[in-house]
Structure 1
Amino acid sequence: MRLPNAIEKFVELFSQLPSIGPRMARRLAFYFISTDKQTFTSLTQALSQLQTLDRCPRCFFIKETEQTYCSICADPKRDKATVAIVEKETSVLSIEQMGKFRGTYLILGNLKNGQLQKSQQRRLQRLKQIATEELGGAFKECIIATNPTTEGDVLAHIIKQELGTHAQRITRLGRGMPTGGDVEFADEETLGSAFEGRQ
């Protein structure tokens, strides 16, 4: 059976999103088709408004376009000398929900092919620049909060090599996190234990 072109195109595009395969994309397509116009319009406006957001030049989290920095980097109560290096934005959200970390972040991205991509090299360079220009050469502590996976371990090793002289102390989250786990999905207690047990 052939579906209308509009649905096929929708499924093709939405199947590229994380955790959404063709079956889920078809479900979403039929949901959108059957929803009322007001809800559909609200959803498309919300999706369109995501394009108005920008990246924070300090940590690479999301910020409002008119803001200089994201709300975390702009907060004067944050400890700018302590930075947690994570792979993705959702890890920041999970750590923030824990409510125990008062430092800042660097979103580095996932490791691909066992080496840093150019964008990741630029982000680490930005972190070194912050250490040099704002902190007298070194962060007080860099917490490597990459996922406890093979790729996360390799990325942690690369980060340690890159930041060796730009941090007084480099630690890694403790293994309260299961091997192969994802920071994003850890509960607050597990994540809290991992922060307390960092080495």
Structure 2
Amino acid sequence: MYDGIVQELIDELGRLPGIGPKSAQRIAFHILQTESFDVTRLSEVLRDVRDKVRFCDICGNVTEGQTCSICRDPRRSHVTICVVEEAKDVVAIERTREFKGLYHVLGGAISPIDGVGPDDLRIKQLVGRLADGSVTEVILATDPNLEGEATATYLTRLLQYPNLRVTRLASGLPVGGDLEYADEVTLGRAFEGRRLAQN
């Protein structure tokens, strides 16, 4: 649509996940029209991210060192591991300030349609972390979709160790939601995960 380099910029931005053609165009024109936009700084940060950021040797979270700040934190409980699909899920859980244990990032979810099997994920590393028997609970916090459920089911069957409790995050109705708009699966899970009402 546009001449030369402007279209190349839009095309490159459009390759990012969650950025459609219209969003890519808006971002491109924001960069073009905003004189205070520091393109040099953006390119430096992108280069630094590529060069410096890696995945934690222990849990698979993003870090600039060999291990992430969560794995290095002596205040974290080492008896509980929360298994997530992606590093961004760690941030979402950390924002709740409810979980005080460690994490394990799988690097995705089992998806036969996309050609992703258990060997393509960081499952062997998880099993290795459980080998000494010090972990007493593994919390499966995979996404509540088909791939996440398949991954959780696979891990539940795999992690049948003595003295290890494998739990799944509760799922159900969102706060502020209406029952009439909830699908059958969500409503069914809400019934399965019901608990005692508190005063």
TM-based fold match above 0.5: yes
Contact kept? 2:57, 2:67, Cα under 8 Å? yes
User: Which runs of no fewer than 5 residues in structure 1 stay unpaired?
Assistant: 179-193
Q: Secondary structure of 2:100's partner?
A: coil
Q: Secondary structure of 2:69's partner?
A: coil
Q: Which string of whole-angstrom CA distances, capped at 9 and with x for unpartnered residues, describes residues 91-120 of structure 1?
A: 111110111111111111133226525330
**1:29 pairs with 2:25:** no
Percentage of pairs with the same residue: 32
Pair 1:10–1:117, CA change in 2 (3 A):
farther
TM-score when normalising by structure 2: 0.77
**1:111 pairs with 2:110:** yes
Give me the whole-angstrom Cα distance separating, in 2, the residues matched to 1:16 and 1:177: 34
Give me the whole-angstrom Cα distance separating, in 2, the residues matched to 1:152 and 1:13: 30
Matches within 5 A, 1:107-146: 107-108=105-106, 109-113=108-112, 116=117, 118-120=119-121, 123-132=122-131, 136-137=132-133, 139-146=135-142
**1:164 pairs with 2:160:** yes
168-177 or 106-115: which moved more? 106-115
Contact kept? 1:82, 1:140, Cα under 8 Å? yes
Q: Which string of whole-angstrom CA distances, capped at 9 and with x for unpartnered residues, describes residues 140-184 of structure 1?
A: 100000111122111110111222238610000012465xxxxxx
Give me the whole-angstrom Cα distance separating, in 2, the residues matched to 1:17 and 1:141: 36
Pair 1:124–1:78, CA change in 2 (3 A):
same
Contact kept? 1:83, 1:143, Cα under 8 Å? yes
Task: Pick one of 141, 146, 171 that aligns with 1:175.
Answer: 171
Give me the whole-angstrom Cα distance separating, in 2, the residues matched to 1:48 and 1:154: 36
Shift in Å at residue 21 of structure 1?
0.7
Equivalent pairs counted in the alignment come to 173
Q: Which one-letter code corresponds to 2:161 in the other structure?
A: T
**1:39 pairs with 2:38:** yes
* 2:10 matched residue in structure 1: 11
* 1:58 matched residue in structure 2: 58
Task: Pick one of 84, 87, 109 that aligns with 2:85.
Answer: 87
The structure whose Rg is larger is 2
Contact kept? 2:31, 2:37, Cα under 8 Å? no
Give the aligned CA root-mean-square deviation in angstroms.
2.4
Contact kept? 1:55, 1:63, Cα under 8 Å? yes
Pair 1:4–1:37, CA change in 2 (3 A):
farther
TM-score when normalising by structure 1: 0.77
User: Which runs of no fewer than 5 residues in structure 2 stay unpaired?
Assistant: 175-189, 195-199
Give me the whole-angstrom Cα distance separating, in 1, the residues matched to 2:61 and 2:155: 19
Q: Which string of whole-angstrom CA distances, capped at 9 and with x for unpartnered residues, describes residues 69-96 of structure 1?
A: 0000111111122111111222111110
Q: Which one-letter code corresponds to 1:107 in the other structure?
A: V
Whose relative contact order is higher, 1 or 2, with alpha carbons under 8 Å and at least 6 apart?
1
Give me the whole-angstrom Cα distance separating, in 1, the residues matched to 2:166 and 2:126: 14
